[in-house]
Structure 1
Amino acid sequence: MTTIGFIGLGVMGAPMAANLLDAGFHVTGYNRSPEKARPLAEKGGRVAGSVAEAVAGADVVITMLPDSPDVEAAVLGEGGVLDSARPGTLLIDTSTIRPDVSRAVAAAAAERAVRALDAPVSGGEAGATEGTLSIMVRGEAGDFAAAASVFDAVGSTVVHVGPSGAGQTVKAANQLIVAGHLELLAEALVFLDAHGVDLPSAITVLGGGLAGSTVLARKAPGMLARRFAPGFRVDLHHKDLGIVLDAARAAGVAVPLASHVADLIASLRAQGAGSLDHSALLLQAERLSGRHNELAERTPE
C-alpha cells in the first residue's frame, strides 16, 4: 500500500499527512478549504480538487473530519469515497464520530467491497505532529494488520479494540477522561493561585506524583501562559461529550461527572469560547470563583 488519499487537512489531518509523506507514502490530499492543503503541497504531496480526485487510484483512504455529518457526506455522499474507491481499497476513518454512524459507514463500505477500519485517535495536535498518536482501531483483524505501516507512521500506541463501532466507543471514553482531567486541572490552578502558591513549581511537583498525567504535561504550560490557540477546540469537545452522553443513555449507564463537565463546556462555548483550545476551561473555573478579571490583568490572554 503506497498511495494514500487523505480527506481533511485541518489541525490534526495536516501533520498526519506530513508524517505519511515522511514515511515514504504517496499522499494526495483534499480539504474543503483549499488553503489548508497548501502545507501538503509544499512538502511534496499532491492536492486534489475533490474527494473523488483524492480517492482515485488510492490503495488507502484516510478521513480526518470534524463530525458525523462530515464523514457521512465525504464517504457516503454522491461523489464521495465509496462512489470513487476501487474494490479492495482500505478506508480508515480517524475522525471522532457517533458509534452508530461508524457502523453504518462500515456496512456501506462492505457493500462496495471496500475494507473499513474505524480508527479514532487521541493525542491532539502535538501527538499528530510528533507521530505519537494513540489509535483505537476496530475492524477485521486482517485489515488491521494490512494497515500496520500506515498506523506506524502516525501513531505510537495502536490497539485493535474489537468489532464495528468499538473504536468510537473507546474514543468517547477517552474524551470523557480528558475533559474531566482538564476541568480538575483548571480548578486546581485557581485553587493554588488563590492561596498564593507559585504555579509553575506546583505543576512540576504534581506532575512527578500520582496526579501527573499527559493532560497535565501537555496542557498546563499553555494554561499558565494563558495561551488558548486551538490544539483541540472547545466546539469539538462539546460535540464529543454529546456523543458520550447519548451513548451512555442508550446503554443505561449513569455518568454524572460527564454530565457536569459537559454542562461546563457547553457554558464556556455559549460564552463565545468555542474556537479556543479546550484548556480554556481555566477561564470558566476562574469565572466561577470570581477571579477571571484579576488573573487576566496579571497574565495576558
Structure 2
Amino acid sequence: MRIGFIGLGIMGLPMAEHLVRAGHEVVGHDVVDRPFRTAASVAEAVREAEVVITMLPADPQVEAVFPEITANAPQDALYIDFSTITPQTSRRLAEQWKRTLDAPVSGGEKGAVDGVLSLMVGGSEADFEAARPIFEAVGKTFRLVGGPGSGQFVKAANQLVVGGTYALVAEAIVLMEAAGVDAAAGLDVLAGGLAASRILDLKRESMLARSFQPGFRIDLHHKDMGIILDAARTAEVALPMSALTAQLVAAARAQGHGSLDHSALLLVVEGLSANERVSR
C-alpha cells in the first residue's frame, strides 16, 4: 500500500520502518529528518496515499494536521490514527472522513521496535479488514472493539491498568526495602505468581536500580490520565482508583519528573514515606 505516515517519533518511527520492511511504500512527515523517504509537508505526504496514518502526541496535534489530510488525501483513502486522544475527538474525525479507524497502541517503545504492539481499533469491520496488513506489520495483537471512538475507550482502560500497576509495584518495592527484605528476590517471586504482569517482567530491574530512561514519559501518561477521567465522565461511571493514580502521576509531573519513564511513580511513592533512595 502507499502510506502517508505523519508523526515519526519514539513510537512512530519504528512502526513506519516495520511497514517499509513489510513491503509498503511509506512517505513520512515529521519535524525531524528520517532515514527513508520524507515529505516536506503533510499535503505532500498524503497526496497519493491509499492509507494515511497519524501517530501524534495528543488531540491538538491530530486536530492541527487533520484539515491538511482531508484537503489533500484521495477521497477514498483510509485514515488510521494510532495516537492516543479522547474518544470524542476520534468520533468527530470519523464524522468528517468516511473511512476512519482509531487504533491507539500499547507496548511502549520496545513494543514498537519489536513490532509486537497491541492495537485496539474502533471503526467499521470493512475498514478493519482493509487495514489488517498494516496491523500485522506493526503489532502482535489487534482487535476491532466497536465503532468510532471505541479504540480510545479501550486505550483509556489500558492506561488506567498500566498506571495503577506501576503505582502498586512502586508500593511493593518501598514496603520490601523498608522492611529489610531482598526486594529483587521478592519481585522475582511476585513475577512468578498471580501478581505477574508485563510491568514486572520488563521494569522490575530498572525500577530497583532507579533507572527511569523513558520508554513512555510521565508527561504523556499525565495526558492519558486526563483522557481516562474524561472518558469516565462521558460513560457516567466512577473510577476511584483511576482518580488516585491520576493524582500520583500529576504529582510526579509537578515534582519535575515529566521527562522520565512512567515507572518513575516510584519516586512519588518513596517521597510519601520519606524513604527516598534515588541517586542524584
TM-score band (shorter)? over 0.9
Q: Describe how 1:194-209 pairs up with structure 2 within 5 A.
A: 194-209=178-193
Residue equivalent to 1:81: 69
Cα distance in structure 1, aligned partners of 2:53 and 2:39 = 14
SS at 2:256's partner residue?
helix
Answering whether residue 198 of structure 2 is matched by residue 210 of structure 1, we say: no
**Per-residue deviation, 1:249:** 1.7
Answering whether residue 84 of structure 2 is matched by residue 96 of structure 1, we say: yes
Aligned residue identity for 1:59 = E
Residue equivalent to 1:9: 8
Cα distance in structure 1, aligned partners of 2:27 and 2:209 = 37
Aligned residue identity for 1:116 = T
SS at 1:273's partner residue?
coil
Runs (4+) of structure 1 moved beyond 6 Å?
Answer: none
Residue equivalent to 1:231: 215
Cα distance in structure 2, aligned partners of 1:13 and 1:225 = 28
- Structure 2 length normalisation: TM-score? 0.97
Cα distance in structure 2, aligned partners of 1:224 and 1:50 = 44
List per-residue Cα deviations over 1:28-65 (Å, max 9, x = no partner). Answer: 11113x2xx43xx1xxx201111111112111111100
Cα distance in structure 2, aligned partners of 1:226 and 1:51 = 40
Cα distance in structure 1, aligned partners of 2:183 and 2:113 = 28
Answering whether residue 47 of structure 2 is matched by residue 53 of structure 1, we say: no
Cα distance in structure 2, aligned partners of 1:50 and 1:282 = 41
Cα distance in structure 2, aligned partners of 1:221 and 1:129 = 20
Q: Describe how 1:89-238 pairs up with structure 2 within 5 A.
A: 89-110=77-98, 115-238=99-222
Cα distance in structure 1, aligned partners of 2:52 and 2:203 = 31
- Give 5+ residue unaligned stretches, structure 2: none
**Per-residue deviation, 1:282:** 0.6
Aligned residue identity for 2:27 = T
Cα distance in structure 2, aligned partners of 1:221 and 1:24 = 37
* Residue-pair matches, total: 280
Cα distance in structure 2, aligned partners of 1:85 and 1:231 = 32
SS at 2:127's partner residue?
helix
Aligned residue identity for 1:25 = H
**Per-residue deviation, 1:3:** 1.4
Cα distance in structure 2, aligned partners of 1:50 and 1:199 = 51
**Per-residue deviation, 1:272:** 0.9
SS at 2:97's partner residue?
helix
**Per-residue deviation, 1:237:** 0.7
Answering whether residue 50 of structure 2 is matched by residue 62 of structure 1, we say: no
Q: CA RMSD in A?
A: 1.1
SS at 1:158's partner residue?
strand
2:62 corresponds, among 68, 71, 84, to 71
